[in-house]
Amino acid sequence: MVRNNNLSYEASDASPPLVTLGVAAQGAVIAMSTVVTITTVFVLAIRADADYLSWALFASLMVAGIGIIIHAVRFGRLGAGHLLLMGSSVPFLAVCVLAAIQGGLALMSILVITASLLQFAMSAFLAKLNRVITPVVSGVALMVVALSAMPIAAARLNNIPPDAAFFTGPLVGAITLITATVLMLRGAGLIRAIALPITIVIGCVVSYILGIYDFQPVLETSWFDLPEFSAWPRFGSVLSPDFWALLPSFLIVSVVVGLKASAESAVIQQVSRRVPRAIDFRSVQGTLNTSGLAVLASGVLGVLPALNYLPSTMALVSFTGVAARRVAYVVGAILIVLALLPKVVALMMTIPPPVSGSILMVIMGLLFVEGVRTAAQDGLNPQKSVIMGLSLAIAVGLQSRNILAVVLGDFWGVTFGNSVVVGILSALLMSMVVDFTISRRRRLNTQLDAVAVPTVDEFLRRIGTDLGWSDSSVERLCAAGEETLSSMLELRDGYTDDTPPRLIVLAKRGTESLEIEFMAVFAEENIEDRIAFMSEQAETPDVDDLSFRLLRHYASSVRHRKYHGIDVVAVRVDA
């Protein structure tokens, strides 16, 4: 295994109070600046008044703070158990602007509430969706999101006052980018922990010297104030024709957001560990439920939906080496307090666009690389290469020229002309085509019990014979199936029910292999982690590890995915 030696504190570690506070302050600055920027853009786009802007900033920061805390707690089926920043985000921006302009903020609220229900449904059926939400789809989602944001970041470098010299924006952006790069590559200890705040301060100082930083709005804002609660937009009617006309767009965006959230949860688990382990899909389900709850709360409050900030979180963990979940508690508390301090929000709003644009470029670059790593985590075959290449080509092409918006008109063009939406949907559809056209799945229903061994052996032997495999390949296939079943039985010790759990075996032919999925419910330990752990140990005989060692010998790969209510062990055996 490749250790992440740059990580000082994992999610479950107790980071020192001073380190926790320093990292949390940095995380709060990142989250708040993004929330303020995107919320302000949304309010200006729908031409709402100052009272609604005050309400939207207050409600968005409250939802973000509470959501970050819930992500870290992992209570039941809520939360990922990891540090994961969140707040107002871009994916829903286009459809929310369209809804607010066409039917008002009340219509937007009820549409957001309805779309949030899809997040909970995706969490409940994640075990089945995993066949199409593959690492390639998740990786493409990350890469497309990064590519879509890079032009926005670059455009901010030249967003300066009309009376400023033409070179001030690029100069400030270059100095900010250089500062961030140096701190990322050479920073250590406390300097690394406060890298982004240092970068922002230096960028603001340079902006002030060059005359593009205006501090006056901060002086004119009060320290403490409550928002105008009368600005809450309430809810529209589901019987409205506009509701049904806009609902498909919101549902499609919600599906894309759900795919993105599942990928983000898988990535943050690996980023937050020194030693890589198998992805805990129960944590992925918790992430989806928390994201759904945040979208639901945003709809109830009538503001732009709050989503996860994976690239910002990755940058924070990468800069500081701290992924402790106690940081999330402090970040959430800071955002809740800041929601009541309009002067601090006003301070963040004064950060010059060239500064925030440079930081966004750094974050998006890290996100793109993480997308490539995610897509290629199980290797690249011709099918995966085609899916990645075509999806990125479609997304980049639509980003440069939105031809679908012209062909489909304003309504559908808003959704299908969005490069992020179409790029991810393209990867999803191609992945589904590959999955459903390679071969027909064969299925066996039995019980997770020792008496099922002959049944599973006969099932696999019949498949191997039908495929025309040699006798040695058939025997290897049956041996892998037997050892998988034995390994699952060894991990069943914690199962307290008198009735053996149900076992479903699915077999699907690959190019030159057979992929077998064993689905059941049992104990906490992960077979994939157990095998990986043995790979690092001396090969000393241990009767408790015998089935795991034999399985590692017979199978080409073993993947163990744990969900709430079901476990899936996927084994690939080469012919």
**Given a cut of 90, is residue 126 above it in pLDDT?**
no
Q: Verify that 427 and 463 share a domain, yes or no.
A: no
Q: Give the DSSP per-residue string, 300-363.
A: HHTSPPEEE-HHHHHHHHHHH-B--HHHHHHHHHHHHHHTT-HHHHHHHHTS-HHHHHHHHHHH
| Cβ-proximal residues to 163 (8 Å cutoff; 6+ apart), any chain | none
Q: Is 184 in the same domain as 210?
A: yes
> Where among 435, 462, 484 does a domain terminate?
435
Chain centroid to CA 276: how far? 18
**Cβ contacts of 172 within 8 Å, gap of 6 or more:** 157, 203, 206, 207, 210, 212, 352, 354, 355, 358
| pLDDT tops 60 at residue 1 | no
Contact 278, 287 (CB under 8 A): no
Domain closes at, from 435, 452, 484: 435
- 178-211: b (≥16 Cβ within 10 Å) or e: ebbeebbeebeeeebbbbbebbbebbbebbeebe
Global confidence as pTM:
0.63
Say if 12 falls within a structural domain: no
Whether 423 contacts 144, CB under 8 Å: yes
Q: Which residue has the higher pLDDT, 550 or 81?
A: 81
Question: What share of the chain in percent tops pLDDT 70?
Answer: 74
Looking at the structure, tell me whether residues 340 and 246 fall in a common domain.
yes
**Residues above pLDDT 90, as percent of the chain:** 6
pLDDT at 417 over 80: no
Whether 192 and 306 map to the same domain: the answer is yes
Q: Is residue 2 part of a domain?
A: no
Regarding whether 392 and 521 lie in a shared domain, the answer is: no
The more confidently predicted of residues 135 and 284 is 284
Q: Same structural domain for residues 410 and 553? A: no
Residue 381 pLDDT > 60, yes or no? yes
**What pLDDT sits at residue 65?**
93
Q: Quick check: 346 and 217 in contact, CB under 8 A?
A: yes
Residue 498 pLDDT: 62
Among the three residues 417, 435, 453, which one is the final residue of a domain in this structure?
435
> Rounded to an integer, what distance in angstroms lies between the CA atom of residue 147 and that of residue 70?
29
Residue 164 lies in a domain: yes
Q: Do 533 and 460 fall into the same domain?
A: yes
Whether residue 235 is contained in a domain is answered as: yes
Strand-strand pairing, 306-308 and 86-88: antiparallel
Highest mean pLDDT among 63-72, 151-160, 226-235, 524-533 belongs to 63-72
Residue 554 sits in a domain of what CATH number?
3.30.565.10
Do the Cβ atoms of 256 and 93 come closer than 8 Å?
no
Q: Is residue 1 part of a domain?
A: no
Domain assignment present for 93:
yes
Residue 261 within any structural domain of the chain: yes
In this structure, are residues 34 and 88 in contact, taking their beta carbons and an 8 Å threshold?
yes
**Token pair for residue 4?**
């992440």
How far, in Å, CA of 184 to CA of 192, rounded?
Answer: 7
Highest mean pLDDT among 92-101, 542-551, 560-569: 92-101
Gap between the Cα atoms of 371 and 146, Å rounded? 9
CA distance 208 to 201: 10
Note whether 54 and 152 are same-domain residues: yes
In the predicted model, what is the mean pLDDT of residues 391-415? Answer: 67
Q: Are residues 123 and 218 in the same domain?
A: yes
| pLDDT over 70 (residue 551) | no
If you average pLDDT over every residue of the chain, what do you get?
75
Same domain, 430 and 444: no
- Residue 316 binned pLDDT confidence (cut-offs 50, 70, 90): confident
Query: When comparing pLDDT for 232 and 573, which is higher?
Result: 232
CA 521 to centroid of chain Cα atoms: 26
Does some domain include residue 484? yes
Q: Which residues pair with 569 in a beta bridge?
A: 518, 560
pLDDT greater than 90 at residue 333: yes
Domain containing 125: what range? 17-435
Helix (H) / strand (E) containing 97: helix 93-103
Pair 389, 535 in one domain: no
- Together in a domain, 422 and 550: no
Higher local confidence (pLDDT), 356 or 299: 299
Give the position of tokens 């498909």. 248
Q: What pLDDT digit, counting tens, does each position of 234-244 carry?
A: 887 777 777 87
Taking only the tens place, the pLDDT of each residue in 8-31 is 788 788 888 888 888 888 888 888
Checking if the pLDDT of 334 tops 80, the result is yes
Residue partners of 211: CB distance under 8 A and separation at least 6: 161, 164, 168
Structurally, the chain folds into a number of domains equal to 2
The pLDDT of residue 331 is 92
Q: Could you tell me which residues come within 8 angstroms of residue 453 by beta carbon, excluding any fewer than 6 positions away?
A: 482, 485, 486
Residue 430 above 70 pLDDT?
yes
What kind and span of H or E run contains 181?
helix 168-186
